[in-house]
Amino acid sequence: MEMKITLSHKICLDPTYKQEQYFKQACGIARFTWNWALAEWNRQYETGLKPSAFALKKQFNAIKPIDFPWMYNVTKYASQQPFIYLQSAFNRFFQRLGAYPKFKKKGKHDSFYIGNDHIKLEEKLIKFPKLGWVRMREALRFSGKVISATVSRVANKWFVSLNIELDQTPKSCESQAGVGVDLGVKTLATLSNGETFEAPKPLKKFLSKLKRMQRSLSRREKGSQNRHKLRQKIANVHARITNLRQDSLHKLTCYLTDNFAGIVIEDLNVKGMLKNRKLSRAIADIGFYEFRRQLEYKYKCKGNYLLIADRWFPSSKTCSNCGQKKNELKLSERVYQCSACGHEIDRDLNAAINLKNLLFQSN
């Protein structure tokens, strides 16, 4: 059986002032339409009717030319897709998979969907109807059919998330499955299928040895033979540590590229994490950059797909079972407990599953 892999690739946009106005307007229209439809749904329900998004859309389109003529300035998707989203939100609610749909707020819900018949891609450019070409920071990294795009704003930056159906599955992999990888502090890596990779044990031993040696180095007389010898010893320990780290990372990255077609990792906000000194030490030890570097050259050779999740993607805070997002999650909370569906799962495994799900998300 052939399985189609769908993934989304999020790219930062560089819109001009005029293009940004278009984006803001389209986001506003998408939000307005959603809120209109939800209010109308609630109203009809209260009067004893059984509302449907399809009927609401017809009703909306009948009054649109007179009541909302400004909506024609942007892609029609901005005022059509919200009905489809609303219906699936209610479907999830009826199946007890999601909360009751809420009204959207400016500054919190700034995005709009656009179908593939309304966009064009060319290297680092993307074309929108009634707007023209907008610059992208990078070209699309995957070859396949673009299904749709979602433009969104995060902290005053604009992004386009492109949904792609990959046109070929990698040859090197027997398993066509995708995997999410959560790099950890105590555990080197947790995979979305439940497998874990432990950090090499001798590393800790060498690190404390290194500390001791460096302390005694500072006490030795400058220019002395003893000091020179110790310097060389320190260099050797450094090399051992680097080798150990490299070795375990090679094992991990080989395992990933040999066994999984699609790999999703996190674009860690390392700067933010370095504030926590204890944690930063561990992260440096694990060598996140080295991990990413190895994966990036191996996946190209072996033909996997590598997806790097956006650094704002809440992989740890989201419930991998129902999609509910927590506002706060302490580092000490090792078990994720969902207040919405009651799901309990290891924190790292939860994050890895959320990353993996990015490969198959539909919007």
Catalytic positions are 182, 266, 348
Q: Which amino acid is present at 103?
A: F
Contact between 306 and 358 under an 8 Å Cβ cutoff? The reply is: no
Contact between 73 and Zn ion by CB under 5 A: the answer reads no
Q: Which of 196, 324, 357, 363 binds Zn ion (CB under 5 A)?
A: 324
Q: Which stretch binds Zn ion (CB under 5 A): 45-53, 161-169, 176-184, 342-350?
A: 342-350
Q: Which stretch binds Zn ion (CB under 5 A): 27-35, 162-170, 175-183, 312-320?
A: 312-320
Q: Which of 147, 210, 273, 322 binds Zn ion (CB under 5 A)?
A: 322
Contact between 340 and Zn ion by CB under 5 A: the answer reads yes
Q: Which stretch binds Zn ion (CB under 5 A): 164-172, 243-251, 334-342, 355-363?
A: 334-342
* Interatomic CA distance for residues 134 and 15, integer angstroms: 6
CB atoms within 10 A of CB 190: 24
Nearest CA to 253 out of 290, 201, 198 is that of 290
* Interatomic CA distance for residues 211 and 205, integer angstroms: 10
Residue 293 vs 325, nearer CB to Zn ion: 325
* Interatomic CA distance for residues 227 and 230, integer angstroms: 5
- Give backbone dihedrals phi and psi of 64, rounded to 5 degrees, phi first: -55, -45
Q: Which of 183, 256, 308, 319 binds Zn ion (CB under 5 A)?
A: 319
How many residues belong to the site for Zn ion (CB under 5 A)? 8
Residue 44 vs 321, nearer CB to Zn ion: 321
- Residue appearing with tokens 């106005």: 21
Residue 308 vs 353, nearer CB to Zn ion: 353
CB atoms within 10 A of CB 136: 20
Contact between 97 and Zn ion by CB under 5 A: the answer reads no
Contact between 35 and Zn ion by CB under 5 A: the answer reads no
Q: Which of 280, 321, 357, 363 binds Zn ion (CB under 5 A)?
A: 321
Q: How far is the CB of 99 from Zn ion (least distance, A)?
A: 11
Q: How far is the CB of 358 from Zn ion (least distance, A)?
A: 17
* Interatomic CA distance for residues 329 and 347, integer angstroms: 10
Q: How far is the CB of 88 from Zn ion (least distance, A)?
A: 18
156 φψ region: left (φ > 0), alpha (ψ -120 to 50), beta (else): left
Residue 79 vs 350, nearer CB to Zn ion: 350
Residue 53 vs 352, nearer CB to Zn ion: 352
Q: Please state the three-class secondary structure of 198-219 as a single string.
A: ECCCHHHHHHHHHHHHHHHHHH
> Using the 8-state DSSP alphabet, how is residue 362 labeled?
-
Find the largest Cα–Cα distance for the chain. 92
CB atoms within 10 A of CB 143: 9
Q: Which of 20, 341, 345, 357 binds Zn ion (CB under 5 A)?
A: 341
Contact between 348 and 297 under an 8 Å Cβ cutoff? The reply is: no
* Interatomic CA distance for residues 286 and 236, integer angstroms: 19
Q: Going residue by residue from 184 to 203, which x/- string records binding to Zn ion, judged by CB under 5 A? A: --------------------
Contact between 343 and Zn ion by CB under 5 A: the answer reads yes
* Interatomic CA distance for residues 79 and 26, integer angstroms: 8
Q: Which stretch binds Zn ion (CB under 5 A): 107-115, 147-155, 300-308, 339-347?
A: 339-347
Q: Which of 151, 181, 183, 338 binds Zn ion (CB under 5 A)?
A: 338
Residue 96 vs 281, nearer CB to Zn ion: 96
CB atoms within 10 A of CB 281: 13
Q: Which stretch binds Zn ion (CB under 5 A): 174-182, 218-226, 256-264, 336-344?
A: 336-344
* Positions in the binding site for Zn ion (CB under 5 A): 319, 321-322, 324, 338, 340-341, 343
